Amino acid sequence: MANINSISILTTDLDAAGENRSLSIQGEVGAQATMQVVSSTNKFYNFVTSSFESSFNTKSKLEFELTSANFSKLIHFPAGNSVKYFVIVSPKPYTDTVISGGVYIQEIGSISDSTITFAVTTDNTAKYASDPVIANTTTTGSPSTSTSKIVNISGTISNATTDANSQGLIVIDRGQLNNNSFNFETTKVISSNPSGSGVAGARAILSDITDLVVGMRLIFHKGTTAPSSTTVIQTIDTSTNQVVFSSSVAFEDGETMTLRAVGLSLAASAIGASITLNSSSIDTGTSPVTTNVRAGGSGTTINVTKTQGIPGGSVAIFNGLGVDNSSTNNVNVVTPDPDGTDGDGVITCDVSQTLSVGTQLTFTHASGGKQVLTTAATLNAQLTVTQFPQANKTINVSIDDLITPGTVS
């Protein structure tokens, strides 16, 4: 009788790009066994071609005899995802070989690549020409291996052209995204509130704690109710799914809460990724916001041909032939006519003006260059992903710290 004492192969999930793994066998000289590898897709490993085939044949099993105490066989697992493989080693029939523990059957799963979506977001969706303001950017990689993928987010962000929302974009001059421009959001259901349903308390037991990390903010509870003060996760008990917050909230059993990881590093930590921001910029171009006087006259009310890009609310000033800027002269109110087709565009200002029909007016921000008036801006950002999450996730990229939409007054 000859014994096989141990059989081993790396059992962690396979990379979606494919891997080679060595099956190691230790035993007595003369031990004889048969090896097979079968996939959950009903394919059989061909030990001659090192590939999986749909039909079983004589090459689908490997018979071997130990000529020393150690034997190894390299198995090639192809690219793919969500496939399970079964490595089977059994004594060769009609021999006296004994495998310690009986027939060896080891399951090995393949892991899927995951995708990170970078979604440019804003709390002022109606003020922009599209939703999302630029197309989402995606990158895909394997969660099981270290990698380094460059992600470029790029697109033109345009102001809406409707009467109510066409008052331009106020962009921070040479503005850049920063760590706090990024966030990750998730929703969770409360299983129970240790303080009692509807009773104020700082603890809640959740149905699951996936994607939660210390430092995440409670944005809403009871679906859409915002907490009365900034409330963040202080501790997470993984054994009980209990989360402790920084302040008391009247949680109710079964309610849904929304949590947000603010900051690229915290957002990446929440989803199990590693992401760094390399660079970013926002370009407003060189074309100023302009319009022309539509009808002559005098006073603080000026009839103009179009109003696209002109904000009210005393944040803009203007220049042009004959414009009187002898004292503070802000644009206070805009009666919108974005493209001039309605013929009713009007601005009101602080200083009475006497302007001729056709006079071109050029608008700038009252801050004197720290902020730029525009109808469109191009965002460019580059990131590096060095670790992908176990499942597809979305990172939000907020532009609200860089761009403030104009208003009519």
Over residues 343-384, the pLDDT tens digits come to 999 999 999 999 999 999 999 999 987 899 999 999 999 999
Within this chain, do residues 261 and 293 fall inside the same structural domain, yes or no? no
Whether residue 284 is contained in a domain is answered as no
275 CB neighbour count, 10 Å cutoff: 23
Within this chain, do residues 264 and 299 fall inside the same structural domain, yes or no? no
Whether residue 384 is contained in a domain is answered as no
* Reported confidence tier of residue 21, pLDDT bands at 50, 70, 90: very high
Q: What is the mean pLDDT of residues 286-315?
A: 96
Instruction: Provide CB contacts within 8 A for 284, sequence distance 6+.
Output: 171, 173, 372, 374, 376, 377
Cα separation, 341 vs 356, in Å, equals 20
* Reported confidence tier of residue 121, pLDDT bands at 50, 70, 90: very high
pTM, to two decimals: 0.82
Whether 392 has a pLDDT exceeding 90, the answer reads yes
Q: Look at residues 222, 245, 275 and tell me which one is the last residue of a structural domain.
A: 275
Whether residue 390 is contained in a domain is answered as no
Q: Look at residues 275, 305, 334 and tell me which one is the last residue of a structural domain.
A: 275
- Whole domain around residue 366: which residue ranges? 289-373
> Which residue has tokens 């897709």?
41
Q: What is the mean pLDDT of residues 165-193?
A: 96
Cα separation, 6 vs 98, in Å, equals 11
Which of 255, 282, 299, 259 is CA-nearest to residue 374?
282
Q: What is the mean pLDDT of residues 126-140?
A: 97
- Write down the pLDDT at residue 193: 93
Q: What DSSP letter does each residue of 374-407 carry, written as one string?
A: ESEEEEEEEEEEEE--SS-EEEEEE-TTTEEE--
- The vertex-78 CA angle with 76 and 84, nearest 5°, equals 95
Within this chain, do residues 10 and 44 fall inside the same structural domain, yes or no? yes
* Reported confidence tier of residue 150, pLDDT bands at 50, 70, 90: very high
Within this chain, do residues 187 and 238 fall inside the same structural domain, yes or no? yes
Q: What is the mean pLDDT of residues 170-181?
A: 94
Whether residue 31 is contained in a domain is answered as yes
* Reported confidence tier of residue 145, pLDDT bands at 50, 70, 90: confident
Within this chain, do residues 195 and 263 fall inside the same structural domain, yes or no? yes
Whether residue 231 is contained in a domain is answered as yes
Cα separation, 31 vs 47, in Å, equals 20
- Write down the pLDDT at residue 257: 97
324 CB neighbour count, 10 Å cutoff: 12
Whether residue 378 is contained in a domain is answered as no
Q: What are 15's two structure tokens?
A: 């990379």
> Which residue has tokens 């697109």?
155
Whether residue 12 is contained in a domain is answered as yes
Q: What's the number of domains the chain is made of?
A: 3
Whether 13 has a pLDDT exceeding 90, the answer reads no
Where residue 11 sits, what CATH number does that domain have? Answer: 2.60.40.2550
Within this chain, do residues 260 and 357 fall inside the same structural domain, yes or no? no
Within this chain, do residues 261 and 299 fall inside the same structural domain, yes or no? no
Within this chain, do residues 293 and 222 fall inside the same structural domain, yes or no? no
Within this chain, do residues 243 and 267 fall inside the same structural domain, yes or no? yes
Q: Look at residues 242, 275, 308 and tell me which one is the last residue of a structural domain.
A: 275
Within this chain, do residues 234 and 293 fall inside the same structural domain, yes or no? no
The pLDDT tens digits of the residues spanning 303-352 come to 999 999 999 999 999 999 999 999 999 999 999 999 999 999 999 999 99
Within this chain, do residues 10 and 98 fall inside the same structural domain, yes or no? yes
Strands (E) across 179-296 are located at 182-192, 200-206, 217-220, 233-237, 242-250, 256-262, 274-283, 289-295
Whether residue 28 is contained in a domain is answered as yes
The pLDDT tens digits of the residues spanning 69-88 come to 999 999 999 988 889 999 99
Cα separation, 41 vs 149, in Å, equals 31
Within this chain, do residues 46 and 99 fall inside the same structural domain, yes or no? yes
